[in-house]
Amino acid sequence: MGYLQGEKPITITKLLAMHAEGEKISMLTAYDSTMSALLNRCGVETILIGDSLGNVIQGHSSTTPVTVEQMVYHTECVARANSHAFLISDLPFASYGDPIQALDSAALLMRAGADMVKLEGGGDWQVDVIRYLVERSVPVCAHLGLLPQSVHVLGGYKVQGKSKDTATLMLEQALACQEAGAQMTVLEAIPSSLGEKITAELHIPTIGIGAGPDCSGQVLVLQDMLGISPGKPPKFVKNFMDGHHSVEAAIKAYVREVKAGKFPSPEYGFAG
């Protein structure tokens, strides 16, 4: 519909061009048709159908219970109302343990309407999965730093990459993911200085969530930035409903601040 009205859909080529030109990329999560349509109207360039739906929609304490079938359902819901945004869907926990399983899972999400899939981790086996998917025409976004699917191994939701060794390893993993063919990387809950360094070293866009202002773009969970998630919000979340009269106004303010490089300001970042 948007295309017929002269509104060209955003492609990975467009996002890579924006990155090359230094234009910030705005991203928010959505899990349903109504919010998908609203984000499109507000000018959000990239929508993430995140496995965060396990927390936000299903009420779980982590993302690990989310299944591929559930991700397919929510991807279909978002895709039906999408007019021009670029859609990224998460490969959920235990759905990409080997390349063949990953391809099967990714194919379901792509058929449901995703333009790209995202997977967590930059270890050797994840890099192999990325390469396998890209070689088979599946666009991939990597995800480094805090990995919600690994929260039980990490022992909680903690800032990652604070030591010299872990920061060096994360940079090496980011470069390896890029070399394997990843066209975008999400960086979550890392020191702002490390977010800046990784972004400078890569030629693909970095999308920060608690990774500082120097990333190529920013993402937040929609319910978090609207101030409606239960409990205490993460340090990197700004409530954009403050000072705005409607959800639409809050989302537009988020887009403006991301595009202008005003969000995140230092209080929403982490020191090294």
Distance CA 32, CA 48 (A): 11
Q: Which of 7, 172, 188, 248 is catalytic?
A: 188
Q: Residue 108: name the closest of 73, 134, 141, 152 by CA.
A: 73
Catalytic-residue membership of 188: yes
Q: At 30, is the secondary structure helix, strand, or coil?
A: coil
Q: Is 257 annotated as a binding residue?
A: no
Q: Is 90 annotated as a binding residue?
A: yes
b/e per residue 130-148 (b: at least 16 CB within 10 A): bbbbeeeebbbbbbbbbbb
DSSP 91-116: --TTS-SSHHHHHHHHHHHHHHT-SE
- The pair phi, psi for residue 13, each rounded to 5°, is -60, -45
Question: Assign residue 192 a region: left if phi > 0, alpha if psi is -120 to 50, beta otherwise?
Answer: alpha
Q: Is 120 annotated as a binding residue?
A: yes
Cβ–Cβ < 8 Å for 129, 181: no
Amino acid symbol at 249: A
* Rg, C-alpha atoms of the chain: 17
Distance CA 172, CA 200 (A): 13
Distance CA 19, CA 33 (A): 28
Q: Is 118 annotated as a binding residue?
A: yes
Q: Is 51 annotated as a binding residue?
A: yes
Cβ–Cβ < 8 Å for 131, 177: no
Distance CA 26, CA 95 (A): 27
The binding site for 3-methyl-2-oxobutanoate consists of 51-52, 90, 118
The binding site for Mg(2+) consists of 51, 90, 120
Give the residue numbers marked as catalytic: 188
The binding site consists of 51-52, 90, 118, 120
